[in-house]
Structure 1
Amino acid sequence: MYKLIVCDLDETLLDRDARISPTNERAIKEFVAQGGHFVPNTGRSFLSIQDDLKQLGLLQQADQYVIAYNGGAIVENAGNQVLATNPLDFATIKQIYDIARSEQVSGHIYALENLYVWQPSAAERNYLAQRGVEYTLLTDDNLDFLRDQPLMKIILQDDDPARRQALGASIPQQVKTPLATTFSSGRYVEFNHVAADKGKATLQLAEKLGIKPDEIIALGDNSNDLAMINAAGLGVSVQNGTAEVKAAANYVTAADHAHSAVAEAIEKFALR
């Protein structure tokens, strides 16, 4: 029996309007009611998904969790208690930021409790607003105020997939700190500490809960989800997943994220 479900949000659980469908909500609540743990496993901040947790009945609940920042932090929902982090050092964040600025690429810096964005396009502003993501706009290149904050990851945004791939290949060669490089949402290339990924964080949380890997379902759509799909006993790609994710998954849903793909998987595999 599956006891833990880890699930990506954007383009997996959330529909095209960045909402959780009633069908998904109902299936998730039924799984939790039978004693399961449903854990959003997202590249975003845990603070940016509080409304989603509220809808699912998980807000401020003890023994329920979020994995945030692509595995950069594990958080218990009750009190938003941070249980573990895998941060990047300031010098690496600053170096990647300087490279991006020289390439005229926009992006985000995620501190543990704050998001900083530079040069977002109108489309990017709309994308963040649709998801209720709060951020501070960076207006100059002085990042010294970040030195004393735990820094989870830095991501670059470009609509050109070839350019994202080029940045993902070139930047790790220019910095000393080993990086985990992933892609998400058809718009971002993301850089975490090499110790941070969704799969490692999933297994770390599962061990804390006394749950075996073969008792885990992982659902996702993009390359930053591959680690958790490979780590779980059952890896699931939604129908709109990339070819790489579909190839790695044990099951590909008939439905896409806009048509309650998560509920399809939960009803097929996880409900009594």
Structure 2
Amino acid sequence: MTAKFRLLAIDIDGTLVNSTDDVSDRTRRAIEAAVRAGMVVVLASGRRYSRVVPIARELGLSTPVVSSSGALIKETRNHTTLWRADFSPELLRRVAHALRRSGFPLALLGDTFTDGFDYYVDAQGPTNDYMVRYLDLNPGCHRFWNDFQNHVPPDVFAAFSLGTREEMEGLAAELHRTLPGLLTTNVLKSPRYEGFFCEMMPCGTTKWSAVCRVAAQWGIRPREICAVGDDVNDLAMISGAGLGIAMGNACEEVKAAAQWVAPSHEEDGLAYAITLILEGRVPQTA
């Protein structure tokens, strides 16, 4: 293995898994080879923690995982929280008010995995068909919350809404207009759900900031990190890493930021990239 890269940060949807939500045998073998070669492998996903854990266990990874686009870092062996974004009660109230005014539903991701659920839903806020179907597909994963004005939910680190792409991009723009400098947002399409997500985190929260926190545990510097992803919530880590790789199925903005574009997730592009790294054959454009 080339000693240049000591940590591999991997997005899940559109990168690690294919369109049927499976990790191919070739990709699994490549990750195992990276671990044997001494690389630290970190899953960095926009998924909530409960949906990252099964993937980490399937791959036999014991390293911390980064979830909810960098807003949470957890230890999967005992579900200990290593770090989470600080979503202040006042900011939560202002976000809830903004979404009610805009007419979109609000869900708040809480550090509640050990309590048996993942997020709170604003019971007094608006809803839409996208959120209704999302809740139907995730039974038991939420609790309704009634009083944002006087008592906000505890341990919240991120939030999201659902709608069409145009609606969510408009919502993100409105949030940045009314709450300038207070939020990081990403508008994303999940292959599992209808509609688009608008993710909301405290300003400065990204996968990259979280990956760097994890890397610091091993004294790993940014230039020793390789990051692989496909969507806008991967931009910061692809731009900041020593080697940023976009998948062939990545959006154009991510491809433009990457130093190299691998084959798509349907072509085992991640496995191909890992093989080149381990063999010291990273393309010269990197």
Q: TM-score, normalised by structure 1?
A: 0.85
> Highest Rg: 1 or 2?
2
* 2:269 is the counterpart of 1:261: yes
The CA distance in 1 between the partners of 2:184 and 2:25, in whole Å, is 35
Could you tell me which residue of structure 2 aligns to residue 83 of structure 1?
Answer: 82
The one-letter code of the counterpart of 2:69 is N
Q: CA RMSD in A?
A: 2.6
1:106: Cα distance to partner? Answer: 3.3
Q: How does 1:87-236 map to 2 (within 5 A)?
A: 87-113=86-112, 114-117=118-121, 119=127, 121=129, 125=133, 129=137, 135-136=141-142, 138=144, 141-143=146-148, 147=152, 149-159=154-164, 161-175=165-179, 178-185=182-189, 187-236=196-245
Say which of 244, 247, 252 aligns to 2:256. Answer: 247
Contact between 1:183 and 1:190, CA under 8 Å: does it hold in 2? yes
Change (3 A) 1:265 1:87: same
Number of corresponding residues: 263
The 3 A distance-change label for structure 1 pair 134 and 238 is farther
**Gap regions ≥5 residues in structure 1:** none
User: Which has a greater percent of helix?
Assistant: 1
> Deviation of residue 15 (structure 1)?
1.6
Q: Does 1:51 align with 2:34?
A: no
Amino acid at match of 1:27: A
TM-score, length basis structure 2:
0.82
Sequence identity percentage: 24
Residue 249 of structure 2 aligns to a residue in which SS? coil
* 1:115/1:135 contact within 8 Å kept: yes
Q: For the structure 1 residues 166 and 128, does the alpha-carbon distance in structure 2 shift closer, same or farther, using more than 3 Å as the test?
A: same
SS in 2 for 1:87: coil
Question: Within 5 Å, which residues of 2 pair with 1:20-39?
Answer: 20-39=23-42
